[in-house]
Structure 1
Amino acid sequence: MSTLVVGSRASHLAKAQVREFLAPLRERFPDVTFRQRVITEAGDQDRRSALKEVSERGGGSAFSVNQVDALVSGEVDVIVHSLKDLPTANPPGLILLPPPTRADVHDALCGSTLAGLPHGGRIGTSASRRIAQLLHVRPDLVPVEIRGNVPTRLGKLRTQRLDAVVLAAAGIKRLGRGEEISEILPIELFPPSPGQGALGIQIREDNELAREILAGSGDPVTDAEVRAERAMLAELHGGCSVPVGAFGKADGDVLTLHGQVTSVDGRRQVEARLSGPLCEPEKLGVQVAGLLLDQGAEGILAEVRPAA
């Protein structure tokens, strides 16, 4: 009997994502043993520092470095990431497989609707993109840095006297807590992080068993959508903690990509939208990035990048 060791972060959400990914595979391959392995990341260990600082210390990601190391060393055969947490470049010898069908891509407010927030309302989030987008729409709001997993951040509505918290809708729903969502934020104003809602399935290039078992587990439409989003981010030389939103949506053989870059104070925002063939997602991502750069995106991003 073959065994595949599947790694993930230790959070409830990460474990739920692994269960979601493995459920159809266990039905298709009853003779394969899928063993889960938990790997703790810097972002899970350090919940006091700003997420941007943790990401910089971790080489660009607070939530993937240790898992990647375990994959490279052969401790695990597969990693199930949240795709939005992954850097756009793969380490040598590793590949990203096409992800399964993406879950809800939207951001969600819990505790209040956007219109229901009082003037000067305190809103909890650790993501620079969410802070930037919220301040662009509601400059009166007061962002409060919060860290932790989904249940912890929801709990801070009470413990830190927040008026609302903003989280990925996919994570809330995957944990069965969808009833706590007060409002799904409109994607036109709040395009998500590139890859949000999708799983990042990473394996070693030379692992033939993993490639054979996982072949066909991905959704080609989701794959094209997130490849366009991540290509745009890569062209902007952005990482996981920059205020960049992207949303790719396929309609038949046509893929449309909406990109957005916002200054952290919310005062400046540039946007671009373009359509192209579904079969050329990376080309579309590069083109949309070029339109954003033409409007001054580089100056906005330079303010949040770590000093060289």
Structure 2
Amino acid sequence: MSKTVVVGSRGSRLARSMVRELLEPLKRAYPGVVFKHKTVMTAGDRDRTTDLRNLAATPGVFAKQIEIALLAGEIDVALHSLKDLATTPTDGTLLAAVPLRADPRDALCGSTLRGLPHGARVGTGSPRRIAQLKALRPDLSTVPIRGNVPPRLRKARDMDLDAVILAAAGLHRLGLSQEITEALDIESFPPSPAQGVLGVQIRKDSTELHDLLSTLHDQSTDYAVKAERSLLAALHGGCSVPVGAFADVRSGQLHLSAQVTSLDGTTVIRATRSCALHDADDLGKQSAYDLLDQGAEQILSTARETPSNT
């Protein structure tokens, strides 16, 4: 294996923090290897104006350019936020490691959910977050807000919003935990599938690199995200649809809770299942079928067809 390993990622402060999180244990374990970081500009980073709901409907908007750089040999390792990576693997690539999951929850910054006044304005462009928020507080209004984490916090203040919803993991990774007013309950506000998880991707033929990266792999996290991403794939979903899911390992079993919520918050469909650890993929599929049996497809179809300005 080469003595130099180039890791590619997006260029945000959060992406750089994720790269440090990845490389610190590797540098300790492999002092003879030089690890370098290369920034790759993605389509989602170039487009700062399109509404997040419309942008997220484009497959690979935050990952494709990084995968292209990987397959072209410009980088050796592609580091993603796993929720940005398509559920169908790109030919020639391999998800080599899934490190231990960080905090999977969403966080309110600026107020607690109970503390928000009637009619309060909350910043988020995520269909899932909009739907789940309206299910819990139908009186609230949401305001689209885009950008990296620190700019979103600044925009929330500049726009005089009462609160903004962000991923807790990103805030922790950036040293901004003090901005969290409330970490939202994972049962009533389930996160995006694989939220808080890093995805470490390599070329399929990089055998030695796979062995090196295996030291980072956390098997319990891998079981959990396999179930969550299998559910999302079976629902033909992505960031543009209101699907929340969370799986974890308890007492030797894998437990998955999933939720589909209409954009107006009036309909909430839930499914909960457990299985043996090695059946993670099937757990996700069966949970998706449970949701579909309860009418989830109508909600998902409506969400896909709804313009972002409604």
Measured against the shorter chain, the TM-score band is over 0.9
Does structure 2 retain, via aligned residues, the 8 Å contact 1:87–1:240?
no
- Worse-superposed segment, 11-20 or 63-72: 63-72
C-alpha distance in structure 2 between counterparts of 1:20 and 1:292, whole Å: 36
Read off the aligned partner of 1:183 and give its amino acid letter.
E
**Could you say which residue in structure 1 is the equivalent of 2:42?**
41
Q: 1:132 aligned to 2:131?
A: yes
Does structure 2 retain, via aligned residues, the 8 Å contact 1:42–1:54?
no
- 1:147-194 residue CA offsets vs partner (Å, 9 max, x unmatched): 000001111221111000000000000000101100010001010000
Change (3 A) 1:98 1:253: farther
**Could you say which residue in structure 1 is the equivalent of 2:111?**
112
Change (3 A) 1:131 1:98: same
Q: 1:269 aligned to 2:261?
A: no
Read off the aligned partner of 2:262 and give its amino acid letter.
S
C-alpha distance in structure 2 between counterparts of 1:226 and 1:210, whole Å: 22
**Could you say which residue in structure 1 is the equivalent of 2:29?**
28
C-alpha distance in structure 1 between counterparts of 2:241 and 2:60, whole Å: 11
C-alpha distance in structure 1 between counterparts of 2:288 and 2:47, whole Å: 33
Does structure 2 retain, via aligned residues, the 8 Å contact 1:106–1:187?
yes
C-alpha distance in structure 2 between counterparts of 1:4 and 1:179, whole Å: 35
Does structure 2 retain, via aligned residues, the 8 Å contact 1:37–1:76?
yes
Q: What's the offset of the Cα at 1:306?
A: 5.9
SS of 1:130's equivalent?
A: helix
- The total of aligned residue pairs comes to 305
C-alpha distance in structure 1 between counterparts of 2:25 and 2:45, whole Å: 28
- 1:34-78 residue CA offsets vs partner (Å, 9 max, x unmatched): 11000111221212111122233xx41321111111111111111
- Worse-superposed segment, 297-306 or 252-261: 297-306
Q: 1:17 aligned to 2:31?
A: no
C-alpha distance in structure 1 between counterparts of 2:250 and 2:97, whole Å: 18
Q: What's the offset of the Cα at 1:24?
A: 0.4
C-alpha distance in structure 1 between counterparts of 2:222 and 2:97, whole Å: 5
CA RMSD, 1 decimal: 1.3
SS of 1:76's equivalent?
A: coil
Does structure 1 retain, via aligned residues, the 8 Å contact 2:125–2:146?
yes
Q: What's the offset of the Cα at 1:298?
A: 0.7
**Could you say which residue in structure 2 is the equivalent of 1:281?**
280
**Could you say which residue in structure 2 is the equivalent of 1:249?**
248
Q: 1:153 aligned to 2:146?
A: no
C-alpha distance in structure 2 between counterparts of 1:306 and 1:213, whole Å: 44
Read off the aligned partner of 1:160 and give its amino acid letter.
M
Does structure 1 retain, via aligned residues, the 8 Å contact 2:97–2:201?
no
The correspondence of residues 228-247 of structure 1 with structure 2, limited to 5 A, is 228-247=227-246
**Could you say which residue in structure 1 is the equivalent of 2:70?**
71
**Could you say which residue in structure 2 is the equivalent of 1:162?**
161
C-alpha distance in structure 2 between counterparts of 1:273 and 1:220, whole Å: 21
Read off the aligned partner of 1:2 and give its amino acid letter.
K
Identical aligned residues as a percent: 52
| TM norm structure 2 | 0.96
Change (3 A) 1:306 1:66: farther
Structure 1 gaps, min length 5: none
Q: 1:223 aligned to 2:222?
A: yes
- Worse-superposed segment, 171-180 or 235-244: 235-244
C-alpha distance in structure 2 between counterparts of 1:65 and 1:146, whole Å: 23
C-alpha distance in structure 2 between counterparts of 1:99 and 1:256, whole Å: 18
**Could you say which residue in structure 2 is the equivalent of 1:179?**
178
Does structure 2 retain, via aligned residues, the 8 Å contact 1:129–1:262?
yes
Does structure 2 retain, via aligned residues, the 8 Å contact 1:43–1:51?
no
C-alpha distance in structure 1 between counterparts of 2:249 and 2:47, whole Å: 38
C-alpha distance in structure 2 between counterparts of 1:20 and 1:149, whole Å: 18
Does structure 2 retain, via aligned residues, the 8 Å contact 1:275–1:284?
yes
